[in-house]
Homo-oligomer: A and B are copies of this chain.
């Protein structure tokens, strides 16, 4: 079993105490090595339904001999859902960095208790695109090279014991390139991903419940500034994911569908079918990447919509 990244957890284990992974509903007294020792990839996204449907898709697409209908969530499902498909986990982390952070901590402790090695994290998300007319358009998948915070800085601020700490937000360059390399017929590009702490005012939307105290012009100025520092899409988790994985030394990728172009509007007005198609493309890209890493053949056309 690997040495724990947090000496305090190592101490807990050495003392023969249990580590309660409260939000997963698991603990280190369970046979985690048997359950998760072989895990090599953790795929994650906001919604529990999507964690389940992606797990079923993995079972169907990865030639692992696993019946998609046999998949059941592991642990408790009150806060998030966890599925295992061979060496791959499919996990939901809710919306926003505080929620995601909980699952990053607990799934990482779980994998370390299990003695898993060389594992990687991939977040498959939805986002708003930031595209100028000559660029890509809504539906394009953005593979992040770096996370940008809502103050347009390439850092993640984290308050610990009341003091602000700053962490780097690069994603694994090789992993991003490898994901992009299997795009085939899917519209995808590398870009910086901004992660905001709010869907409305934090992303410069005008259509929240409260008077935002800024104008359409102010908004466009902000989004254009974001574009100029390289931001191509906006979601709510990127800086936490990058900072956590940098600190932990876990290679990570962030692969997001864009559901709209924020330079053209605030509201998500596409039909449920279009939105499903956009999300599906991001998933397809990750499935192809996983097939490649598992030494399976990769079809760069057949899956795409």
Contact = CB atoms under 8 A, between A and B. Distances in A.
Given A79-B47, A96-B97, A222 B102 contact: no
Interface string A129-142: 00000000000000
A225 B98 contact: no
Interface string A170-200: 0000000000000000000000000011111
Q: Determine how many copies of this chain the complex contains.
A: 2
A6 B214 contact: no
Contacts of A98: 95-99, 196-199, 202, 236
Given A97-B96, A101-B198, A207-B6, A46 B79 contact: yes
Contact of A268 (B7, B22, B96, B163): B22
A219 interface: yes
Given A22-B268, A160-B213, A267-B19, A99 B94 contact: yes
A112 B269 CA distance: 20
B200 A105 contact: yes
A166 interface: no
Interface in A247-262: 247-248
Contacts of A48: 78
A151 B160 contact: no
A277 interface: no
A196 B159 CA distance: 9
A74 B227 CA distance: 37
Contacts of A96: 94-99
A269 B20 contact: yes
A6 B102 contact: no
A197 B97 contact: yes
A211 B6 contact: yes
A9 B207 contact: yes
A5 B112 CA distance: 49
A127 interface: no
A201 interface: yes
A222 B112 contact: no
Nearest to A197: B98
A206 B268 contact: no
A235 to B, nearest CB: 11
A161 B206 CA distance: 11
User: What 5 pairs across the A-B complex have the smallest Cβ distances?
Assistant: A96-B98, A108-B209, A95-B99, A161-B222, A150-B159
8 contacts: A46-B79, A49-B77, A95-B96, A101-B199, A151-B163, A158-B198, A159-B202, A210-B244
